[in-house]
Amino acid sequence: MMSEWTTDDAEELYRIHRWSDGYFGIGANGKLLALPDVDHQEIPIALQDVVDELRAQNVQFPVVMRFHDILRNRVRQLNEAFASAIAEAEYQAPYRGVYPIKVNQMREVVDEIVDAGKAFHYGLEAGSKPELMAVLSYDTGEEALTICNGYKDEDFLRLALLGRKLGRKVVVVIEKFSEIEPLLRLSAEMKVQPIIGLRIKMRVKTEGRWSESSGERAKFGLTTSEILNAIHLIQERGYGDAIRLLHFHVGSQLSDIRFVREAVQEAARIYARLVKRGIPLSYLDIGGGLAVDYDGSRSSSHSSMNYAMGDYANGVVYAVKQVCDLEEVAHPTLVTESGRAISAHHSCVVMRVMGEIANDANPIATDPVDGEHILVTNMRDLSVNLAEAQNYQDVYNEATQVMEDALSAFKLGVLGLEELARTETLYWKLMRAVAKGLETAEFVSEDLRNVEALLGSQYLCNFSLFQSAADSWAIQQILPVAPLTRLNEAPSRNCTLADITCDSDGRIAQFIGDQGNRSMLPLHPLEAERSYYIGLFLTGAYQDVMGDMHNLFGRLNEAHIYSDANDPTGFYIEEFVHGSSASQVLKVMQYNPEAMAGQVKAMIDRIVAKGELRSRDGVKLVDFYESCLASYTYLRHPDLGSAT
């Protein structure tokens, strides 16, 4: 019942504490809270308060909210987890992690990570020439590593060696045997000693969406025989002392800690055997894989993880220590390339629900009329039968048959359009009554369980799935969804989420559930007098940078938020970054907005010249078109006025 609903029920429904890793929660007033520093949760930030402040500044939604304190906290947590594991295990080498910027290359994100990581000698990883250009512009400190992964041409290699000239610890990881010769030739030409890493293909085969990046058929890396041949070639050319790092990668989002341990043990054994052959290795880079618990199930499902960050660090440290101690070789400096776990939590997409799409919306009058068709009468009589007998299965079966008969009769011209509409309205009223009765039924058949899906609403949300949650569409990745307010009220509408693109795939229809995923999410009924905002969470890894230009919606507005204990709201908006304008996205697709405006003006001028439009009105239309070119691509909230 509504009066019995509490915020604990909302927590259980939306599983906020479980997927948020403590960074989000619910206030006593039913508002969703951000808790950017999990160690100081006395400074909560109500997301609706951020919305209200942005609305007061005439900011249009959807908006990406970035909580930069969460980024800083994640960097600290990862480095402290490894420091703790190293101290506990009496491991004899440090941890030197790197952040792979491919996960989120946004400048503001990398800025925070670099600044937070300086105390830990935390470095950066680049997988392309543009990424390396960005990475080289950061001062990460003398001890921090710069890891260069991916296939490389001579320009890529020259950039890496430029980093060595600048005194940076830039490691060129050999992904393909043919990269060795140009690297050594360019090193001699530029008179600089490279730092060489060798990436090995692991035999450990993982499971999950990214399992193909592991095993013998992996895209990157050298086989064992290629590793030995590479070492021989490098030594033969006089650069044997440059071989310093062994790298492997067995997949992103490793949900089962078992695969992490197996891979680390295999890599540590290879590392130790190479060291015993006289190879001057000192770094072991175990790549990425540290997972994020998207669905909060704390399991080995593809969208979860059955371990915590501390378990991950302990598993790596103890596995490497055990192998190296058995092989009697020095412990290597440990390197990880964790990106998803660093950046996923800090970003969320906040969108306004624009309206509801429901099968029983806008019904017509269904009172009996003289001479109505027997099918309309039969559907009305079923409501009486349901109230008297409460035989939900029989009524459902009969109502389904009557509706099918009505459709057939309409196709044959027997039933009129208005009579079909009345039959349909009665059908949906009946289904709503069946669903209400099933709430207390002892047994519900499979057919009747489909009634809930039939009655489910679609909440139309002002965002593009393809731009802001590409993984949700491409690989059916579960991303948490929750309303920003009214969490102290019982939600009564079962919904899927539809975006504003013209594509039928632009919807979210998989949500976190108590027992696995659910096809609908309970949300609150919309109210005319107040806006309803919902958040799409854990979007900081990949989703921020993988979006496409479907329907030319473009990038979202962004608000960069920091905690502030001295502010009454507990936060301040440090920066607002405008999203894409229509003009900007059109230019990306090779349109010329200035020429377009000129062409529209010419067409309007011709109409004015014919006397079909007043000059004054023609000027207003041209101004309106030009203002639309300069405006945000997403739908405008009604109370923010028109584009002019």
Residue whose token pair is 């512009």: 137
Q: Where are the domains of the chain?
A: 68-342, 374-453, 583-640
What is the gyration radius of the CA atoms in the chain, in angstroms? 30
What is the H or E stretch that residue 396 is in? helix 392-411
**Helix (H/G/I), strand (E/B), else coil: 138:** coil
What is the sign, positive or negative, of the torsion defined by CA atoms of 462, 466, 467, 471? positive
At residue 576, the pLDDT reads: 93
Average the pLDDT over each of 57-71, 208-222, 419-433, 514-528 and give the range with the smallest value. Answer: 208-222
Kindly give the residue spans of alpha helices, DSSP state H, lying in 91-179: 107-117, 129-136, 154-165
Q: How far apart are CA 428 and CA 434, in angstroms?
A: 10
What is the sign, positive or negative, of the torsion defined by CA atoms of 380, 382, 383, 385? positive
Evaluate if residue 452 carries a pLDDT over 50.
yes
Q: In residues, how long is the chain?
A: 644
Q: Which amino acid is at 621?
A: L
Tokens, residue 347 = 């970003």
The pTM of this model reads: 0.88
- Give, as one character, the DSSP assignment of residue 424: H
Q: Specify the CATH superfamily of domain 68-342.
A: Alanine racemase (3.20.20.10)
Contacts of the segment 309-315: beta carbons below 8 A, 24+ positions apart: 309/77, 309/78, 309/81, 309/341, 310/81, 310/84, 310/85, 311/257, 312/81, 312/257, 312/260, 313/78, 313/81, 313/82, 313/84, 313/85, 314/85, 314/88, 314/89, 315/257, 315/260, 315/261, 315/264
Q: How far apart are CA 497 and CA 357, in angstroms?
A: 10
Average the pLDDT over each of 136-145, 495-504, 584-593 and give the range with the smallest value. Answer: 495-504
Kindly give the residue spans of alpha helices, DSSP state H, lying in 242-373: 257-276, 309-327, 340-343
At residue 551, the pLDDT reads: 80
At residue 207, the pLDDT reads: 62
Beta-bridge mates of residue 483 = 534
Q: How many CB atoms lie within 10 A of CB 638?
A: 9
Q: What would the pLDDT profile of 296-335 be if each residue is shown by its tens digit?
A: 888 888 888 999 999 999 999 999 999 999 999 999 999 9
How would residue 271 be classed by pLDDT, with cut points 50, 70 and 90?
A: very high
Q: What would the pLDDT profile of 508-536 be if each residue is shown by its tens digit?
A: 888 988 766 888 899 999 998 889 999 99
Tokens, residue 6 = 């509490």
Evaluate if residue 639 carries a pLDDT over 90.
no
Find, among 134, 193, 147, 197, the residue nearest to 167 by Cα: 193
**Helix (H/G/I), strand (E/B), else coil: 587:** helix
- Give, as one character, the DSSP assignment of residue 235: H
Q: How far apart are CA 587 and CA 583, in angstroms?
A: 6
**Chain mean pLDDT for the chain:** 90
Tokens, residue 495 = 């919904």
Q: What would the pLDDT profile of 365-422 be if each residue is shown by its tens digit?
A: 888 888 889 999 999 998 888 877 678 888 889 999 999 999 999 999 999 999 999 9
Is residue 66 within 8 A of residue 344, CB to CB? The reply is: no
Evaluate if residue 215 carries a pLDDT over 70.
no
Residues 6+ apart with CB under 8 A from 598: none
> Out of 2.60.40.10, 3.10.560.10, 1.20.58.930, 3.40.50.300, which CATH number does the structure's domain 374-453 have?
1.20.58.930
Q: What would the pLDDT profile of 10-64 be if each residue is shown by its tens digit?
A: 999 999 999 999 999 999 999 999 999 877 777 899 999 999 999 999 999 999 9
What are the distances in angstroms from CA 368 to CA 365, 378, 404?
9, 11, 21
